[in-house]
Chains A and B, each alone.
Chain A
Amino acid sequence: MNWNAQARAVTVCFGLVGLFSVYSVRLIDLQIIEHEKFTALAAQKHNHKQIIYARRGIIRDAHAEALAENVPVKTVVADASHIRDPVALAAAIANQLEMDPRDIADKLSQTGKGSKHIVLKAQIPEQTAEKIKEALRVANLRGIYFDQDFVRVYPNGQMLSQVIGFVDHEHKGTMGIERTMQDFLQGADGFRYIETDRTGKELVPYRGQENPAKDGSNVKLTVDLGLQNILETELDSACAEFKPKNATAIMMRPQTGEILAMASRPTFDPNKPGDAAPDQEKNRSVVDMVEPGSTFKIVTTSAVLEEKLVTPDTTVYCENGHFQYAGRVLRDAHPMGVLTVHQVLEKSSNIGVAKLALQLGETKLYEYIRRYGFGQKTGVALSGEISGLVNPPHRWSKLDITRIPMGQSVAVTPLQIVTAMSSVANGGKLMKPMIVSEVTDETGRKVASFSPEEVRQVVSVETARKITSALKDVVSKQGTAQKAAVPGFRVAGKTGTAQKVDPRGGYYSGRYVTSFVGFMPADDPRFALLVLLDDPTAKQGETFGGTVAGPVFSRIAEKAARYLDLRPTEVIPAQRVPVGQKRVALSRSSRD
């Protein structure tokens, strides 16, 4: 080999060595020096954290009837990096999405080629998603994906809406049970790290860490939808008849404090919360306070009986309807002379109860008001509950001792009124109102259960019995609530006709909050019921609790008795059968 040939060979060798050295250096640069950077880039392009959405728990009534459900829907998402022809894609899906194809094409183009998550439309039904998938398959187009989502639906619409509440766009409860039981209902989303190929398809063998979703627990309420339906139907009828500013009705099981039905008017449809005014969303049973009026007389009367200051037969002189105290005159609706304590309650004498309160004294009266649960939250699992307003005796005016016993100068929630009446019905026990009975997971296993809770013994069984006896006579021909009577049953209850408070001070003239709270059957109560109509429109001189709220109570109680299959304790007077209608009944001979 001569020198030239050798030199050429060496040159070529060096050249090759140099070339491969350059490749090697680049390879070392890619694989070692910049390893992290390129790994991250690859991961960014192909690795994704896939969210596994948890199902929100279902809310059911006492008989497992669904009150709040989830409907699966899809969110249509485009990945611009997988789209070759935005115009063709837009044309293929526009019809199903009910959108202008130009808008879709603009959205896809403007967001840029690299954008991987362009939301085109949210909350489309499953069927529509299927149609879009089919259209894309036929047109051989890709780049459109679907994220799973759900919408909360309330199958019964307005029924029980203020109690159930609704969720916001992030599926968080904003009101009612949806809010108070949020921690149980929401569940926990899971996740999974996945790797995809260039077409966006998951490569299952390279699946990374996975954490399954935990579905939300189901919440069962104490509310019975059958009773709720009765209560709401009658409340609607009452609203149509009397056109009150607002109305509230609550039904409770006295022995346990379970709320069987609860409704307020005006109301709203939780499926369209955006259409509702704040006034309609209010659950007035717990967020509103009213002066209770004469229904409050049970507090003073039971207190004087419990303290053994009087007996039901002790007489009180009712000043013939004109009682001057602390420079002001207290009047009765009808002038009355001497009444027994029993009759004071039966005939709802303001003067009689004021005199009993004077005998009891401020401190004791305040003590019993508090013992009945007024002026403090009941602790029910409903959002926004207020405690009402009961001032301590040192803030009372001289007049208050005669006004508070008849339900003035105090403000209470409707729930507090029915809870107090329930304590009379059940023998003197104040029960904590409960609306949630149990929480179960998706397999039906109990996560939490709630049992009746006795707050305190307010009055003795004997005192409660004496008050019940007087309350039974309220719903009689001599009492103030004859129209609250229910054929076949003894009803115990108390009317309330409170003058409406003027926010500017004093009271409105001729405007009232009418109410009736009672329980039935009086001797073995299955439910306590409050009906409260705020500022009803009735005939002149007929705006009383007994004439406005009483009949509503009667209608609800009668239907509820039928629904609960209560056995009548008294003979039911024959009812007229409309002409041309026949009802088939078994022979009367088998009647017990």
Chain B
Amino acid sequence: MTHNRRNITHSIKVASIFKVVVSTCILSIAGLSYVYLKNQLQKYGEIQRRLEYELTEIRTANEAVRAQITQLSSRGILEKKLAKNSLGLLPIASDQIVRLNQRHDGVGDELRVVSNRGFNQ
């Protein structure tokens, strides 16, 4: 009798349902995570691409500017500017150049008295 009554009992199998729910959740989360991570990958890939592009552009602009500076500071251009602006600079004649005595070899770093004597004679 007991045996028969147990057979006809339609008890809810909580454990099985739980298993199914958990499995479904895990699969769903895994699936959604996969999609989310894929999206993130795309997003960061896009950011990386944009930053790389910007970096290349900056480097290129830097090179262009550097070349421009070189060009503008080249001797030819500077000489043309000098001639155009006619600053009136004249080279000093060789006989007008005064050379100060250089320290002789063998003289160390000993203290020396500073004197302007002789310069204004």
Contacts and interface: CB of A to CB of B under 8 A. Distances in A.
Interface of A: 55, 66, 69-72, 125-126, 148, 150, 153, 155-157, 159, 201-205, 225, 229, 487-488, 558, 562, 567-568, 572-575, 577, 581, 583, 585-592
Contacts of A69: 66-67, 70-71
Nearest to A486: B94
Given A72-B64, A157-B74, A577-B93, 11 more contacts: A55-B63, A156-B74, A204-B46, A572-B94, A572-B95, A575-B93, A575-B94, A585-B92, A587-B98, A589-B118, A592-B99
Contacts of A204: 44-46, 48-49
Interface in B51-88: 56, 60-61, 63-64, 66-68, 70-71, 73-77
A496 to B, nearest CB: 28
A483 B45 CA distance: 74
Contact of B45 (A205, A225, A574, A592): A205
Interface SS of chain B:
helix
A205 B42 contact: yes
A444 B94 CA distance: 39
A202 B49 contact: yes
Given A72-B63, A562-B91, A156 B99 contact: no
B119 interface: yes
26 contacts: A66-B70, A69-B71, A71-B67, A72-B64, A72-B67, A126-B61, A148-B56, A155-B73, A155-B74, A156-B75, A157-B76, A159-B75, A159-B76, A203-B42, A204-B44, A204-B48, A487-B95, A562-B91, A562-B94, A575-B95, A583-B96, A585-B92, A586-B119, A587-B121, A589-B121, A590-B101
Nearest to A585: B96
Given A148-B60, A204-B48, A204-B49, A567 B75 contact: no
Contacts, number: 98
B92 to A, nearest CB: 5
B45 A70 contact: no
Nearest to B48: A204
B39 to A, nearest CB: 11
B12 to A, nearest CB: 37
Contacts of B77: 155
B114 to A, nearest CB: 15
B1 interface: no
Contacts of B101: 590, 592
Interface in B24-46: 41-42, 44-46
Contacts of B73: 155
B95 A574 contact: yes
B75 A225 contact: yes
Given A126-B61, A575-B95, A585-B97, A590 B118 contact: yes
B100 interface: yes
B111 interface: no
A568 B68 CA distance: 40
A575 B60 CA distance: 52
Q: Size class of B's contact patch?
A: 35 or more
Given A72-B63, A156-B76, A590 B96 contact: no
B16 interface: no
B107 interface: no
A155 B71 CA distance: 5
A225 B94 CA distance: 22
A412 to B, nearest CB: 31
Given A229-B75, A575-B94, A590-B118, A126 B64 contact: yes
B95 A590 contact: no
B74 to A, nearest CB: 4
Contacts of B56: 148
A155 B118 CA distance: 47
A155 B70 contact: yes
Contact of B71 (A153, A562, A573, A588): A153
A575 B95 CA distance: 7
A202 B120 CA distance: 76
B90 interface: yes
A224 to B, nearest CB: 12
Contacts of B91: 562
B99 A567 contact: yes
Contact of A568 (B66, B90, B94, B121): B94
Contacts of A155: 70-71, 73-74, 76-77
A55 B94 CA distance: 45
A55 B56 CA distance: 13
Contact of A586 (B45, B63, B98): B98
A205 B94 contact: no
Nearest to A232: B75
A591 B41 CA distance: 77
A55 B91 CA distance: 41
Contact of B98 (A558, A577, A590): A590
Contacts of B68: 71
**A-B CB proximity, top 7 nearest:** A204-B45, A155-B74, A586-B98, A589-B121, A575-B93, A585-B96, A572-B95
B93 A71 contact: no
Contacts of B74: 155-157
B29 to A, nearest CB: 22
Nearest to A575: B93
Contacts of A72: 60, 63-64, 67
Nearest to B50: A204
Contacts of A581: 90
Contact of A587 (B41, B48, B93, B119): B119
Contacts of B60: 72, 126, 148
B98 A591 contact: yes
